[in-house]
Amino acid sequence: MSPQHQPADAGTAANTGDKHPTRRADKRTRPGGGLTRALGYTALVAIALLYIYPFLIQLATSFKTDADATSHPLSLWPTHFTTAAFSRLADADYPRWFANSVVVALFVTAGRVFFDSLAGYALARLRFRGRGALFGAVIAVMAVPGVVLLIPKFLVLNQLGMYDSYSGMIVPLLADAAGVFIMKQFFESIPVSVEEAARIDGASTFRIYWSVVLPMAKPALITLTILSFQGSWNELPHFIVSRQSPELNTLTSGVASLVSGQLGDGNQYPIKLAAALLMTIPVALVFFAFQRHFVRGGTAGATKG
């Protein structure tokens, strides 16, 4: 078991001493709670440090000179503060890559959230011939390694005249099986009773999906939004095979080529880290915007009403 479970065990041990029924119900006065919490916080903070420190290093290093980056990798403050890395990126193709990534990610995210939830709802709730087979197909498709598809995806795109174009980069990503799976799982966890009430009132299937079920599926939709945006922003292999023009490079394919030695001599970590830093910012913004929407127990009140 992982060390994270220690607090829980400690809590159990502390609890056994307390047999009084009224006190047991009152969490705040439970003895041993303090120790459990201290342990919990220690673990949380230690792991948080492990997760934040690399980004701070990245931030600091992108303002360093090459020599400074190599000789003082740990320092969180540049000895000679310079924005040279950023101006070099601005003069290169970087802004173009950035714009391409934004366009692709926006279309792909909108498409996935809508299409995946539609399909997920149908597979979870609507009774129609072939549903079981379709769900089996979705599961099977999830298991298909994307790399199997690199060569033939290129062929299909070529055949359709979509190779080396935005449509070729976007359309194949508009739906994904994992998203459908996640949505189906979630819809199944929502009580049917609410929908049945709407159905008795004579609402159409799409209306039930749109105005009754989707609002209840908010947590899953937000998760799917984040996953879709992250997925399309992360996507590398597809952009290796669906385009060849340098002006269609996204950030991923562009920065990957940057890392594999387009820069010439030396490690040049500041400019590489600056490129990576800038491509992180939009995802970070979207992420922070969506974060607060995480709602506890989306279904908790549904059957009560």
Partner 1 sequence: MSEPNPGPAQGPGSGPAAARPAGTAKDRVPSSVPRGPVKDTGPDDAAKAGGGTGGGTGGGTGGGRRTRASRGGIRGREGLAGWLFVSPVLVVLGLFLVVPIVMALWVSLSDWNGQGSPFSSGVDFVGGQNYEPLLTKSGLAQSDFMTSLRNNAYYVLFVVPLQTVLALGLALLVNGRRLKGKGFFRTAYYFPAVTSSVAISVVFLFLFSSSGVVNSLLAKIGVDGPAWFADPRGIIHLALGALGMNTDAPPAALADHAVGGLSLWDWISGPSVAMTAVIALVVWTTAGTFMLMFLAALQDIPLEVEEAAEIDGTGRWQRFRHVTLPMLKPTLFLVLTLGLIGTWQVFDQIYVMTKGGPGKTTLTPAFLSYQSSFINNEWGQGSAIAFILFVIIVAMTLLQRFVLRDKDEARTKADTRRAAKAARSGSGPTTGAI
Q: Which of residues 214-253 bind partner 1 (CB under 8 A)?
A: 219-220, 223, 226-227, 229-230, 233-234, 236-237, 240-241, 251-252
Touching partner 1, residues 1-20 (CB under 8 A): 1-5, 7-9, 11-12, 15-16
Q: Does residue 29 bind partner 1 (CB under 8 A)?
A: no
Q: How far apart are CA 224 and CA 216, in angstroms?
A: 14
Q: Does residue 25 bind partner 1 (CB under 8 A)?
A: yes
Q: Does residue 190 bind partner 1 (CB under 8 A)?
A: yes
Minimal distance, residue 78 CB to partner 1, in Å:
14
Q: Does residue 269 bind partner 1 (CB under 8 A)?
A: yes
Q: Does residue 200 bind partner 1 (CB under 8 A)?
A: no
DSSP 231-289: HHHH--HHHHHS---GGG--HHHHHHHIIIIIT-SS--HHHHHHHHHHHHHHHHHHHHH
Max CA pair span of the chain:
75
Count of CB atoms situated within 10 Å of the CB of 124: 20
Q: Does residue 263 bind partner 1 (CB under 8 A)?
A: no
The residue within the footprint of partner 1, chosen from 29, 83, 87, 193 (CB under 8 A), is: 193
Which CB, 2 or 245, lies closer to partner 1? 2
HSE (CB half, 13 Å, CA atoms) of 110? 7
Which CB, 17 or 91, lies closer to partner 1? 17
Q: Does residue 192 bind partner 1 (CB under 8 A)?
A: yes
Helices (H), the chain: 6-15, 21-25, 33-61, 66-71, 84-91, 94-125, 131-142, 150-159, 166-170, 177-189, 192-200, 205-207, 214-216, 218-234, 237-241, 251-257, 269-291
Q: Does residue 170 bind partner 1 (CB under 8 A)?
A: no
Touching partner 1, residues 106-165 (CB under 8 A): 111, 115-116, 118-119, 121-136, 138-153, 155-156, 159
